[in-house]
Amino acid sequence: MSASSTSPSGRRALIVGGGLTGCTVARELADSGWQVRVHESAALAGGLVRSATMGGVVYEPHGSHIFHTEDLEVWEYAQRFVPFNDYRHRVDIMIEGKLLNWPTLLSDIDKQSDSEQIRGELAQREGIDPSARAASSNFEEWCLELMGPTLYQRYIYPYTKKQWGREPRLLSASWAPRRVQLRRDNDPYLFPDPYQGWPDGNEGYTDLIEGLLDHPTIELVTGSTLDVATTAPAAADHDADLIVLTCPLDVFTGGDLGTLEWRGIWVQNVQIPYMEYAQGAMVVNYPGLDYPYIRIHETKHASRQQCQGTVLGIEFTGAPTRYYPVPLPANDELNRDYQELVRNRLGELTSARVEFAGRLANYTYIDMDDCIRQALDLTRSILVG
- Tell me what pLDDT residue 5 has: 42
Beta bridge partners of 196: 68
The Cα 278–Cα 185 span in angstroms is 29
* pLDDT tens digits for range 190-210: 999 999 999 998 999 999 999
Q: Say how far apart CA 121 and CA 323 lie, in whole Å.
A: 34
| Helix/strand/coil percent split, the chain, to 5 | 40, 25, 40
| Per-residue pLDDT, 135 | 80
Determine the Cα–Cα distance for residues 41 and 372; give it in Å rounded to an integer: 21
Whether the link from the prior residue into 8 is cis, omega within 30° of 0, is: no
pLDDT at 174: 83
The pLDDT assigned to 9 comes to 58
> Alpha-carbon distance 281 to 186, whole Å?
17
pLDDT digits (tens, 9 = 90+) for 114-134: 999 999 999 999 888 777 777
At 327 the pLDDT is 78
Q: Judge whether 43 and 21 are in contact, CB under 8 Å.
A: no
For residue 134, the model assigns a pLDDT of: 76
Q: Assess whether pLDDT exceeds 70 at residue 314.
A: yes
Q: How confident is the model at residue 176 (pLDDT cuts 50, 70, 90)?
A: confident
Q: What is the pTM of this model?
A: 0.93
For the cut 70, the answer to whether the pLDDT of residue 59 exceeds it is yes
pLDDT digits (tens, 9 = 90+) for 69-127: 999 999 999 999 999 999 999 999 999 999 999 999 999 999 999 999 999 999 999 88
Q: Confidence band (pLDDT; 50, 70, 90) for 61?
A: very high
pLDDT at site 6: 46
pLDDT in tens, 249-299: 999 999 999 999 999 999 999 999 999 999 999 999 999 999 999 999 999
Closest CA to 232 of 154, 347, 384, 359: 347
pLDDT for 44 beyond 80: yes
CA distance 372 to 356: 14
243-to-227, 264, 314 alpha-carbon distances in Å? 12, 27, 37
Torsion of CA 319, 323, 329, 330, to 10 degrees: 50
Q: Give the chain's count of helices (H) and strands (E).
A: 15, 17
CATH topology for 12-49+205-258+326-384 is Rossmann fold (3.40.50)
pLDDT of residue 7: 46
Among 42-46, 182-186, 236-240, the minimum mean pLDDT is found in 182-186
Encode pLDDT of 347-382 as tens digits.
999 999 999 999 999 999 999 999 999 999 999 999
pLDDT in the model for residue 93:
98
Q: What is the DSSP string of 235-287?
A: HHHHT-SEEEE-S-HHHHTTSTT-PPPEEEEEEEEEEETT-S-SSSSSEEE--
What is the Cα–Cα distance from 290 to 161, expressed in whole angstroms? 12
Quick one: CA dihedral 55, 58, 59, 60, positive or negative? Answer: positive
The predicted structure's pLDDT at residue 127? 80
| 299 class by beta-carbon count within 10 Å (0-12 exposed, 13-18 middle, 19+ buried) | buried
**Rounded mean pLDDT of the chain?**
94
* Domains of the chain, residue spans: 12-49+205-258+326-384, 52-90+189-202+262-325, 103-183
What pLDDT sits at residue 104? Answer: 95
Length of the chain, in residues: 385
